[in-house]
Amino acid sequence: MTDLLLISLCVALLVGAAFGAVEVAKSAMNGRLGPNSTVGLRTRATRKSPQAWQVAHESALPVLRWTACMTTAVGVLSLIILFASDGAEWAEVLSAGSGVILVIGVVIAGIRGHRAATALGVGSEG
């Protein structure tokens, strides 16, 4: 029972974080969330101008959507395995894998967004 509760909580937090990142990117892309030091893709290039901020998040959004879907799929799979076979070990591995997918996806989205902002020229030092 404890495994079920902990793994379910972990999966819920990971899925919430993944879809939260998608919503932040959509808000920034649509101009509802401007450059700031709290949430979003925060690099020197992305915060250089509102246009760079929007372009960065627009570029990152497809990666973040894919990340949210994969995080959810692997997380749900871990719960299915836990319910179906009481395979707590495999469920733990898969829920940890869900977290790894989330981290890697956010890093890739950040790199992609930074490069898009830099390509505008407004973020270049110089």
Closest of 29, 47, 45 to residue 21, by C-alpha: 29
pLDDT(3) > 90: no
**Per-residue pLDDT, 88:** 80
Q: Which ranges constitute the DSSP H helices of the chain?
A: 2-29, 50-85, 88-119
Buried-exposed string 70-91: b where 16+ CB fall within 10 A, e elsewhere: bbbebbebbbebbeeeebbeeb
What residue segments make up the domains of the chain, in order of their start? 2-119
Mapped onto helix, strand or coil, the DSSP state of residue 31 is: coil
pLDDT score of 83: 84
Measured at the CA of 28, the angle between CA 110 and CA 30, to 5 degrees, comes to 130
User: What pLDDT digit, counting tens, does each position of 77-100 carry?
Assistant: 998 988 888 778 888 999 999 999
| pTM of the predicted model as reported, rounded to 2 decimal places | 0.88
**Is pLDDT above 70 for 26?**
yes
Degrees to nearest 5, angle at CA 27 with 112 and 59 = 20
pLDDT tens readout for residues 38-58 = 999 999 999 999 999 999 999
Cα(120)–Cα(107) distance, integer angstroms: 20
The whole-number pLDDT of residue 124 equals 47
pLDDT average, residue stretch 5-20: 94
The answer to whether 122 and 44 have CB atoms below 8 angstroms apart is no
